[in-house]
Chain A
Amino acid sequence: MKFWARTLLATLALAALVHVAALWAVPRLIMARTIAAMDAAGALNAAIHPPRADDRARGVVMPSPDLLYTVCSFDVGRRPLRVSAPVPGTYWSVAFFAANTDNFFVLDDRGAGAPSVDILLVGPGQQAAPPPGTRLVRSPSRRGIVLFRTLIANDEELPALRQAQREQRCAPF
């Protein structure tokens, strides 16, 4: 094969590799950046309760102004994370996201089947004995995000829902 034809082929081969590597990295980099921002805001293995989203909410794209969010960035490398909350009488959910953006667990108010939920999140390869009444969930990655959503169906409910939001907790186990 001619020298420059080989060079072109090598270029295309490298381009294909770079293409795949870049697309693979994008979600992981975005998650890492989001997790770092949450860590910096005090959410590392702890719950923070941002107020209702408005035009000033610019952390994650497309925030809903009709939900109250609670966020925790988790690091279950050394210890599990205990995630607990009362279940309010409106649409409510808790979702876990891995470092590669996988939504590996979600529970909503209909599926909760109880007035409160208590979850023990363990890291890959970890063992833990969940306390009675606690649900065990395994994360595929050491780092990730816990996100609670509580629906504000009408504005009059907001004060009571803000109180419920504050009781959504993450803590090292």
Chain B
Amino acid sequence: MMAVTRKRTKHLVAAAAVLAGGLALGLASAALALRISGSWAAVRNGPWRAFLEAGSPEADLYTRAAIAVGGLLALDKSETIYFVASEDDDGHALRARCDYRVEGRDPAARWWSLTLYGADRFLIANPQQRFSYSGTTLRREADGGYVVHVSATAKPGSWLPSGNETQLFLTLRLYNPAAALYAAPARAALPRIVAERCP
């Protein structure tokens, strides 16, 4: 009688361990995969990352889930390419306590914009109600290029206020990108993100 009970207890414990362990491991590994798929599933261009399969029926399990979390309702790449940066050119996370210079030339697209988001991927409240610059609204340098300052304190010229956010995201949107660009996004000439002052 005792032997049967011991055996049954052993099986029950094992079943509970399988259920609990399988569930926990499955969910934890899925959450981890979601977090890191942002790195390896995307096209890289310096600090910029693009998910070229946004909205695509061909997107794999990981890409689809990562895009649903980070870029829901993004358009297909022939319509729009979204490059997102969460780090500067040196690979350090973008933070509001640092001052940045985002500088470059017009990318090959019908229209483009640079938008700043906070840690929760929403626009950052500021009295100036300033959230983005586009090819048509940027202050230009003498050579036709541009410099956009990203910092918590006001800067002359083009400036995006970063408030007191921890993690910042910069999104470069290219509408109707040139065919050469979406054929080889890793080689497109994208703006540099330079940390100027980082206490």
Encode B79-104 as 1/0 by CB contact (under 8 A) with A: 10010100000000000000000000
A62:B176 contact, CB within 8 angstroms: no
How far is B69's CA from A30's CA once the two chains are assembled, in angstroms?
A: 8
A46 to chain B, nearest CB (A): 18
Question: How many A-B contacts are there with CB distance less than 8 Å?
Answer: 168
B18 at the interface (CB under 8 A from A): yes
C-alpha spacing A95/B68, complex, angstroms: 16
Contact of A66 with B132 at beta-carbon distance under 8 Å, contacts A53-B123, A153-B111 already known: yes
Chain A residues with CB under 8 A of B122: 55, 57-58, 61-63
When the two chains form their complex, are residues A64 and B54 in contact, meaning their CB atoms are under 8 A apart?
no
Q: Mark B47-81, 1 if CB is under 8 A from A, else 0.
A: 00000001111000110110111111111100100
B112 (CB) vs chain A CBs: closest residue: A66
Answer yes or no: A10 CB below 8 A from chain B CBs: yes
B173 touches A64 (CB 8 A): yes
A15→B72 contact, CB < 8 A = no
Check A19 against B26 for contact (C-beta < 8 Å): yes
B140 CB to nearest A CB, Å: 15
B11-52: CB near A (< 8 Å → 1, else 0) gives 000100111011101110111011000000000000000000
A1 beta carbon closer than 8 Å to chain B: no
Partner of B79, one of A7, A24, A62, A93: A93
Contact-residue bracket for chain B: 35 or more
Residues of chain B lying within 8 A (CB to CB) of residue A62: 70-71, 82, 84, 115, 117, 121-122, 169, 171
Query: Could you mark each residue 13-30 of chain A with 1 if its beta carbon is under 8 Å from any beta carbon of chain B, else 0?
Result: 111111111111011001
B124 CB–A CB distance under 8 Å:
yes
> What 5 A-B pairs are tightest by C-beta distance, nearest first?
A18-B26, A14-B22, A103-B55, A27-B68, A15-B25
Known: A31-B72, A91-B110. 12 other contacts (CB 8 A): A7-B14, A23-B62, A24-B61, A55-B124, A64-B113, A91-B175, A101-B55, A145-B73, A147-B73, A149-B75, A153-B134, A154-B136
Pairs A–B under 8 Å by Cβ, sample size 30? A3-B14, A7-B14, A14-B19, A14-B22, A15-B29, A18-B27, A18-B30, A19-B29, A23-B34, A26-B68, A26-B69, A30-B69, A53-B131, A54-B125, A54-B131, A55-B122, A57-B123, A61-B122, A62-B71, A62-B117, A62-B121, A62-B169, A65-B131, A93-B79, A101-B64, A103-B56, A103-B76, A106-B76, A153-B136, A154-B137
Binding site for A on B (CB under 8 A): 10, 14, 17-19, 21-23, 25-27, 29-31, 33-34, 54-57, 61-62, 64-65, 67-76, 79, 82, 84, 110-111, 113, 115, 117, 120-126, 129, 131-132, 134, 136-137, 169, 171, 173, 175-176
